[in-house]
Amino acid sequence: MKDLKIAVVILNWNGQKLLEQFLPSIIQYSQEASIYVADNSSTDDSILFVKTNFPTVKIIQNKGNFGFAKGYNEALQEVEEEIYALVNSDIEVTENWLQPILSLFENEAKTSIIQPKILDYKNKEYFEYAGAGGGFIDKFGFPFCRGRIFDTIEKDNGQYNDTTEIFWASGACFFIRKDVFRELNGFDADFFAHQEEIDLCWRAFNKRYIAKYCGQSTVYHVGGATLNTENPKKTFLNFRNSLWMMTKNLPTNKLFPVLFIRLSLDGIAAIRFLTQGKYKHLWAVLESHFYFYIYLFKFICKRSEIQSENYYKIKSIVYRYFIKKNKYFKHL
């Protein structure tokens, strides 16, 4: 069995407190890996802290705050290990978290992207919103997870201790082969943050690469350390980037019909924000559509030659969740 070289790369921006809290567990339980902190031009003492307390950690200095997508794209140009483990700075890892994932990469040549089980750091018996037990999307581009559909979070009772193929892996703890990452030209830097990992997985799927969830590896994620769910900027990025992602990746015969329905569903979401008095979130949805139309031609030009018809698991997670009341993945 080949011994693959792996790099754990933590993207940081003004995250000294998170590094103080979570970097020790990564160092303790990642002896197989080289560990990097990629810094998005922080103004706090993050890098001084790492250099002083963890001299074995390698530092990559980006020249600006490039967000998640471009931040990793820039940093990973300097990382030559065969496997990239992209790990949020608010992730706590566990003993032996790398071994089952490395074993999958070593034994399955077409498996190119892997996500571990992601549980909630603040409530460790439950899955965490960002990724949970592996991700899928519906026909209209709405993402959902095994263990999390919209705001319904499942308790971890071992129901997702398996290893299985998924559609997308969470950027909170995202493993990918270096050669595949570079073949796909990394994340789409226009996204800045949010949905860029789903877009990358969709592009990998269109090229017949396989993404998997590995339930034998567990990490804990704080979540919302950069933008929490109440921040309208998060709403804007999620809605805008989802439309851009669909424009790039939907099959040609479905592109405009599906986009029309998705835009209509976004309108219903905006009305819901209005009835809840969340006016900033309402504006965020409207603004996301404005940006979608402005850059529509640019993202049509980003379409690849290959799109798969079989990208979605179910037709409408919105219908199944809100109308049929299917709150849990096993009921889909």
Tell me the pLDDT tens digit for each residue of 53-90.
999 999 999 999 999 999 999 999 999 999 999 999 99
Q: What is the pLDDT of residue 304?
A: 87
| Model pLDDT, residue 177 | 98
Structure-derived torsion over alpha carbons of residues 278, 18, 115, 27, reported in degrees to the nearest 10? 180
Q: Percentages helix, strand, coil for the chain, rounded to the nearest 5?
A: 40, 20, 35
Mean pLDDT of the chain, nearest integer? 96
Q: Which domains, from first to last, does the chain contain?
A: 6-221 (3.90.550.10), 232-331 (no CATH)
Query: What's the confidence (pLDDT) of residue 276?
Result: 95
pLDDT number for residue 19: 98
pLDDT band at residue 230 using 50, 70 and 90 as cut-offs: confident
CB 218 within 8 A of CB 116: yes
